[in-house]
Chain A
Amino acid sequence: MKFRRGRDTDESFTAFVAARSHRLIAHAELLCGHREQARDIVQSVLVRAYQRWSRIEHDDPYGYVQRSVTNAVTDWWRTAHQRHERPVDVVPDVPGSQDTALEDRGALLAALDLLTNRERAIVVLRYFDDQAERDVAAILGISVGTVKSTCHTALRKMRIALDDEVPRPQSFHGTKEQS
C-alpha cells in the first residue's frame, strides 16, 4: 500500500509541474522581474510543496502553490538586500528579434519595474491571476480600499510609461520604494 500511495503522489506531482509550472514561473517573474530568480523560486516552492503533496493535491494545488510563490517573492524582496543578491540586470535580456510577444515581454517587465513592490503585486494578482479585490486584500493583508487606490496609481504609472515607450534603466531596483 505504501508503494502504491507514493507512486500516485509522484504521478500527480509531476503532472502538475509539467502542466502548471510555466504559469507559476510567469507569476513569479512578473512579481520579481527576474526570470532565472523566478524559476529558482518556483522550483524551491514546489520542492517544499511535495513534502505535503498528498494533502495539497486534492484541494486547489495551484492556488496553494501560487500563494506560496507570492510569499516567497515577498520574502525575496525583504531579504535580497541583506543577502547582497539584488539583481543588477533589472530587465531580463530580451532577444532583439521581430517576435512581437517577446518585445511586449520586455516592455511589460520594464513598466512593472517602475512600480513599488506592493503596486506590482496588486497588478499581477488582479490582472494575471484575476483575483478579486477582496482576495488581493486578504492575500496582501491590506484593505480593499488600499487595493483600489494602489491599483489605480499603478495603472496610471504604467500607462504613462508605456505611452512613452518605457526606457530600461539600470537604476530602478536600486531606488525602488520597498513596500
Chain B
Amino acid sequence: MTFAPDDLRNAMNDLARSTDPLEPGLVLRSAKRRRARRRLAVTAAAAALVAVAGGITALRPSGNGPIVAGDSRAIQDLDDSLHGLNSGNYAFSRTGAYLITDIVRAQVDVADGYAVEYGNKMSLLQVGDTTYLKPPGEGTYAGPRALDQIKNAGLPQAEVDRYAASIAQLDGTRWLRVDQQRLAQAAEVDEQSSLDYTAPTPTADKPDITGAGALVSAVMTAERSGDTITGTLDATKVNSELRLVIDDPASYYGPPATSMRYQATLDGQGRLTSFTLHLPATLASQAADSQPEPPLAITVTRYGDVEAPQAPPGAESITELTYELLARDND
C-alpha cells in the first residue's frame, strides 16, 4: 500500500466496503430483549432469577372477561386442566419461551424440591432448603483460553490460582451448593449471564412453573374436539413478568398479537398434557430477516408420580469469585 492521506482514506473506506453489516433482525431482537430485561429489573423481586418469595401472578384478561367464540365449555375445560399442575407434583419440558432458556426436563415435587435441566446444559436443583447449581460449562470461561489469558495477564500466582479454581467450578461437570439470593443478584448484574434466562422457583403458593396457567388465562376463543382444544389467545394479556412471550407483543407482531393460535391436549383425567402457542409468522416491524419463530411448546407428564430429588454426591461450595464470574459468563 502506498501512503498519502488520500491513500489512507481510501484504504479505510475499502475496509468499510468489505465489511459485512450486522443482521438487522437479530440486533432488533437483542435490543427488545434488553429493553424487556430493563423493564423487568424495575419490578425486581418478581423478575429475579429465583424469586424465592415474591411469586408470579398470572393475570386474567382485563375488562369483562374472555370473549368466547366457540365452545364456552372448552375454556372451562382448559381452566380445569390446570388442577394437576396446581397439585405441585409433575414433570415438564418447554421450548420457545421468549426470555427463558429451553427446559429439557423438569421435575417438580413442590413439597420437597425440584430439578430443572436447561437446554444450555445448566441445571438447578433444590433439595429441601439447599439449592444446587450445575453451570452450563460453556461461555466466556469455558475452554483453556480463558485461563491462559489470566496466566498471561501478569497476575500474582495466588490470584491465578483463585481464578483457576473458579473457572474449574464453571466447567459444567460439578454441582455447586449455592445461595438463591446470590444467584438472583448475579443475574441482575447488567452483563450477559447464563443465569439471566432461568425459570422461577415453584412454591406452595405458585406450584405451576410451566407457564401454562398464564397462557390459559389469556385464552380468548376455544373449541374442543376429543382431547384437543384449539383457539386463539391474546398475547398482550400474558403477564410479561413471566417472560413467556416478547414484551409489548402488539408492537412486535402487530394485530396478530391479540389472536395467536394455540393447541392444547388433555389426558383421560382432563389434565393438561401439552400446550403449543404458534407465534405469528409476520412481524409488524418487517425486519429484513423476519422468519417464522418456533412455537412456544409445553409438555407435561408424570402427574403425581415425581419423587423428591436427591442431593447430588460430591457437591462443592461455590466461591465468591465464581458468583462474580457467573454474573458475566455469557458476555
Contact = CB atoms under 8 A, between A and B. Distances in A.
A interacts with B = yes
Interface of A: 2-3, 6-7, 10-11, 13-15, 17-23, 25-27, 29-30, 39, 42-43, 46-48, 50-51, 81, 84-86, 88, 101-105, 107-109, 123-124, 127-128, 130, 155, 158-159, 162-163
Contact of B16 (A10, A14, A22): A22
Contacts of B284: 3, 6-7, 10
B34 to A, nearest CB: 5
Given A6-B248, A26-B12, A159 B285 contact: no
Nearest to B155: A84
B287 A51 contact: no
Interface of B: 1-3, 5, 8-9, 11-22, 24-25, 27-28, 30-32, 34-35, 38, 149-150, 152-153, 248, 250-252, 254-255, 284-288
Contacts, number: 147
A27 B34 CA distance: 24
Chain B interface, DSSP helix/strand/loop, else mixed: helix
Contact of A158 (B8, B18, B35, B153): B8
A23 B262 CA distance: 43
B18 A105 contact: yes
Contacts of B20: 22, 25
Contact of B19 (A18, A29, A50, A155): A29
11 contacts: A3-B255, A7-B254, A10-B28, A10-B252, A15-B24, A17-B22, A22-B21, A86-B153, A127-B9, A162-B1, A162-B3
B19 A22 contact: yes
Interface centre among B2, B248, B251, by most A CB within 10 Å?
B251
A21 B21 contact: yes
B3 A50 contact: no
A29 B15 CA distance: 9
A50 B285 CA distance: 14
B285 A7 contact: yes
